[in-house]
Amino acid sequence: MEKNQRAPILTSDLRAKLLKSDMVTGSEILLRSLLLEQVECVFGIPGGSILNIYDALLEMPDFIHLMTRHEQGAIHAADGYARASGKVGVCFATSGPGATNLVTGIATAYMDSVPLVVITGNVPTALIGTDAFQEADITSITMPITKHNYLVRNVEELSKIIHEAFHIASTGRKGPVLIDIPKDISSQQTLFYYPEAAPIIRGYHSEIQPNLSQIEKILLAIESAERPVILAGAGIIHSEGSQELIEFVEKTRIPVTTTLLGLGGFPSGNEYWMGMPGMHGTYAANMALQNCDLLISIGARFDDRVTMKTSGFAPKAKVIAHIDIDPAEIGKILETAIPCVGDIKTVLHLANMQAKPAKSEAWLKEIQENKKNYPLRYTDSEAALKPQFVIEMMSETTRGEAIVTTDVGQHQMWVAQFYKFKHPRSNITSGGLGTMGFGLPSAIGAQVAFPEQLVISINGDGGIQMCIQELAICSIYNIPVKVVIINNQVLGMIRQWQELIYDNRFSHMDLNGSPDFVKLAEAYGIKGLRATNKEEARNVWKEAMETNGPVLIDFVVRKEENVYPMVSPGSAIDQMIMGDAE
């Protein structure tokens, strides 16, 4: 991407210019407000009800907007930008189908607590409720999947609403906020005023001070524990608390397992890290959870893919402690003996002042033996290209320093298992909703956030086709994402479940008829490469890494390859199918 394709730094002079109190339209109020919120880039696509806003863009050359080819691409790009940067992602869409095309992306962000401000146009106020052309009640539709939403009915309230929306999206448990702007509101004029102080919103408490006595209870439980485990989730990353977690672990000598969304929140090279837990978790992590006497969940919500059979999860834990910014999560799935509500970074900072080691010497030795005796493994082959080898190759050549986005499926689990993440915000994936089509556009957003950093988008040949049109954006703006396809010619995770759970009854999982991805990339003006064996894989990956600009690499692998270990639905997490290595 061109280096100048981002909003200017909000200098004092620019800020003063934007804050000038003059008569402006609702459209200009929106654009000025976004610049004052230091929004670097907006992703979107125009339509009739939002055309006033797009017309106003012509008068604001400082405002950066990338036009995607589909609204789902726009919101996933905004999501990827937010996850990579920690800032609020922003997208535009028009009314009706434009707004409803955002729903999957809004739900994706909501499930994973990603801060977004979603701007939709709507039909004029007088037509709302009349079933006008391209009218949809998007505020009602998205109420269950937004942290908050607004239907703007007075242009004088627009700047206040925008200010509130950014505050709500980015504080507390983060999440998406939607602002629906009728077409007449975007054209009406009023004096511009933008509030500078943090908004006071009745009933909304963004900061919860942790209870010191609950922190003390956790520290006392640690001192007497012999088999403690920390389950760390995305909350570590959202709170920017990774360094505090590392310090806490080193002081308490407690082994750590990180959820799918927590990967990178604790460095994979640390001796206390056990890998990912759950359905496709490591042997060491799952067995540690099943045999621990103290379980401390830090920013993890006990998702069913982590716990599997809830009644069989952590049966030997005498004490379960749960640290989370959202009190609704504590006790929702598992009975919690020590609840601790608060920002995780703050809680861990306070805990580190008094933290002492657990009695975990023998326990740590047992875990190291499990890591040594039961590592992640696969049956390698010189004749056939293995997907695990491809991920390992990328991990080794990038030294775990890339930002990696994934789509959803087998390749997502292989990345979680075999890519060694070192840093927070380097693993970008759809966890709670499991949204196919997420991988490519989220990588575009991540690359916009970090133009100079290597961004790799790893996809299956099924998911890539759900938003593949966004290759156009990579080409037009020279966004240098390396787009990887793990091509097994089937919906891989569906095929695996049908083999192992549905007794080889394969139903509608074949992707025969998919395009030649190399030719498709070239049709978009992007370099396309293909590999079918190890030597070709190494060569094309080297060429991709040396190419300045976007590249699509099609790694053709065998369709029969499964993700192991695996825990079948309804089983406890220590009932693991180890696969070829068993």
Q: Which residues are known to be catalytic?
A: 71, 133-134, 183, 493
Report how far apart, in Å, the C-alpha atoms of 7 and of each of 214, 526, 553 are: 44, 26, 31
Angle at 477 between CA 521 and CA 73, to 5 degrees: 70
DSSP element (H, E) containing 39: none
List the 338-341 sheet strands across, edge first. Answer: 256-258, 228-232, 294-298, 319-324, 338-341
Neighbouring C-alpha atoms within 13 Å toward the C-beta of 443: 31
SS (H, E, C) 344-409: HHHHHHHHHCCCCCCCCHHHHHHHHHHHHHCCCCCCCCCCCCCHHHHHHHHHHHHCCCCEEEECCC
Structure tokens, 369: 């033996």
Instruction: List CB contacts of 523: < 8 A, sequence separation 6 or more.
Output: none
Give phi and psi for 486, each to the nearest 5: -90, 100
Given a contact cutoff of 8 angstroms between Cβ atoms, the answer to whether 430 and 108 are in contact is: yes
Torsion angle (degrees, nearest 10) of CA 251, 257, 263, 268: 60
Given a contact cutoff of 8 angstroms between Cβ atoms, the answer to whether 480 and 116 are in contact is: no
Given a contact cutoff of 8 angstroms between Cβ atoms, the answer to whether 339 and 313 are in contact is: no
Cα(33)–Cα(437) distance, integer angstroms:
31
Q: Could you write out the DSSP letters of every residue in 172-199? A: SS--EEEEEEEHHHHH-EEE-----SPP
Given a contact cutoff of 8 angstroms between Cβ atoms, the answer to whether 15 and 145 are in contact is: no
Longest Cα separation, the chain: 72
Q: Could you write out the DSSP letters of every residue in 429-473? A: ---SS--TT-HHHHHHHHHHH-TTS-EEEEEETTGGGGSGGGHHH
Cis peptide bond N-terminal to 124, omega within 30: no
**Alpha carbon 250 to chain centroid distance?**
27
Cα(117)–Cα(372) distance, integer angstroms:
46
Closest-CA residue to 52 (of 32, 26, 75): 26
Structure tokens, 2: 């061109």
**Alpha carbon 393 to chain centroid distance?**
23
Which residue in the block uniquely carries the two structure tokens 């339509």? 47
